[in-house]
Structure 1
């Protein structure tokens, strides 16, 4: 009623408990279907609450032709910001676009893209560092010799870019450091050989880089200054031996957690998977935490979390250790997300209602949104009075709504006050008036936003 321009995909909450961590769920819904009818699904960054109700949504496209990925909260210049990639995805699993940085008022404050003449940034990852720089990935085909024969190979580049100026400070080229022979992917004669498929980059505790190569089944520790590979975890040239259940394959979203463990979304456990690239049908994906000992060169499984629905995610996915010890997992291609207690108990399990919708990653973050626009209001007459609808896209401080009604926009008076109960709150009133407006109230009863007056239809 109030925002017919917003068509976020619906979410089904399969299980919800009161012991979930504070904050909201961050998603970037999209569909892999090129046949999705315009107007039936909008893609874009979306924040929802524990009930799956939208808190904020920004449409960026429809279908699979244009969408957003890797939506999350980060810190820039000491303040919380929203970041996501948007642009044109390529069917082979990468994209050409840019990264958006938005402040708490939902104002774009930066747009980050690749430097040195590259067409654009890839969709997989961008991390803002404490130095106010951005680590981003680039994917482009490049002529390279494979077993002595020239052929097109996907070359992955990591750039560290100053967010404000766009200046490239460091650059790392995968083909200069990772040989094509490390790949487990069989090449296709019709496509550039995606031998590495770099899908995450992050800072390790010592300031160097952790890089995930999906198609080499390897996590690379890379010197941030000179690009030298310091060690390999997994794959054909692993520097580590693995304890029971610790090996992984086709992985995503690698990062060092605050407890010292390495978190990985393990798309298919290498203990069960075929090494040649096949994915057995009886395996499931996992979120895993590894203890990696660089002295003894061993990696051991600390704990793992599998989907309560037995999902095998052949692409995408994310793992997040929350401040209270809970674990939040996005199941990638399946469009599910789950929160676990540290013990493994399922606290929340949700999914998009439409099975063609998914989100590359899913996270939980605290967020306080303070939009600069006004609340939205609509009024509709009914047989026994009228119903007023109120919403304010992105406003997280609204606790209740005050309804004003009257004979003209200039002559409105307070007629009702109700608690906010959804993205759009509906208020039934016994009397009809030609015009209505609403005021948004915070927890202290203070007015934090007032809508324009709207005619009752």
Structure 2
């Protein structure tokens, strides 16, 4: 595409988002519905292409040229409304397919990394998502962590989890014997999945309680 001064190019553009780039190159993500009409199936529908798609326009303001890269749905989805295209800092692309209730992530070469629907079975009927974006977020649940200690003949294993939490890096474990005793440090485990366990040699015995303390990457509570 030639964007040189004096050359007039007309093109319909819908749902442009997230203009990014540097001094000489800019990226414009677009969502191309390629169709319009009623989502209820009533009335006329106009299809410009077989499927909807995402477009990444790479604009060079020195050479006044543009490169266009297209991203198509793995399931040939076509949405007559809604939808979005997001370009991530690493070059990956997030496609949200609007009324089709699906989202897809591609790498910069167009390879599908992730494709999922937001409902399944009877719950899938009517599921729509107006826009879809990927951002970092922090889960800070209000509820307390869940903890349980299980004994066998040789050891006691403490299991802890905190539903919705994204910040805990380390679990620190303590024991309290009796009601008014001070807590005794037992050790710690690095959190690697939803549930973290810590093994105590020997049987804890009646009246011994286990406590777990969540620490973030700065080892702060």
Partner of 1:241: 10
Partner of 2:3: none
How far off its partner does 1:381 sit?
4.9
The runs of at least 4 consecutive aligned structure 1 residues that moved more than 4 Å come to: 392-395, 428-434
Deviation per residue, 1:252-278 (Å, 9 max, x gap): 4544333424321122258xxxxx950
How far off its partner does 1:412 sit?
2.4
Deviation per residue, 1:216-262 (Å, 9 max, x gap): xxxxxxxxxxxxxxxxxxxxxxx9534xxxx56xx545443334243
1:427 has 2:197 as partner = yes
**Structure 1 residues 371-386: aligned runs within 5 Å:** 376-382=144-150, 384=152, 385=156
Tell me the secondary structure at the aligned position of residue 192 of structure 2: coil
Q: Equivalents in 1 of 2:212, 2:128: separation in Å?
A: 35
Tell me the secondary structure at the aligned position of residue 403 of structure 1: strand
Of 378, 389, 404, 2:160 maps to 389
**Structure 1 residues 22-421: aligned runs within 5 Å:** 240-242=9-11, 251-252=14-15, 254-258=17-21, 259-268=25-34, 278-280=45-47, 283-290=50-57, 302-352=68-118, 354=120, 355=124, 359-366=129-136, 369=138, 376-382=144-150, 384=152, 385=156, 387-391=158-162, 393=164, 395-396=166-167, 398-407=168-177, 408=179, 411-421=182-192
Change (3 A) 1:410 1:305: farther
Change (3 A) 1:370 1:333: closer
Q: Who wins on radius of gyration, i.e. which is larger?
A: 2
RMSD, aligned α-carbons: 4.1
Q: Equivalents in 2 of 1:358, 1:387: separation in Å?
A: 42
Change (3 A) 1:429 1:436: same
How far off its partner does 1:302 sit?
0.9
Deviation per residue, 1:365-424 (Å, 9 max, x gap): 345x495x888322335463554323274543x3221222323475322334222233x4
Gaps of 5+ in 2: 1-7, 37-42
How far off its partner does 1:364 sit?
2.5
TM-score by structure 1 length? 0.34
Q: Equivalents in 1 of 2:109, 2:84: separation in Å?
A: 19
Alpha-carbon contact 1:388-1:428 (below 8 Å) kept: yes
How far off its partner does 1:287 sit?
0.9
Alpha-carbon contact 1:375-1:390 (below 8 Å) kept: no
1:437 has 2:211 as partner = yes
Alpha-carbon contact 2:176-2:182 (below 8 Å) kept: yes
Change (3 A) 1:361 1:434: farther
TM-score by structure 2 length? 0.63
Alpha-carbon contact 1:388-1:436 (below 8 Å) kept: no
Structure having the larger proportion of residues in strand: 1
Q: Equivalents in 2 of 1:305, 1:409: separation in Å?
A: 63
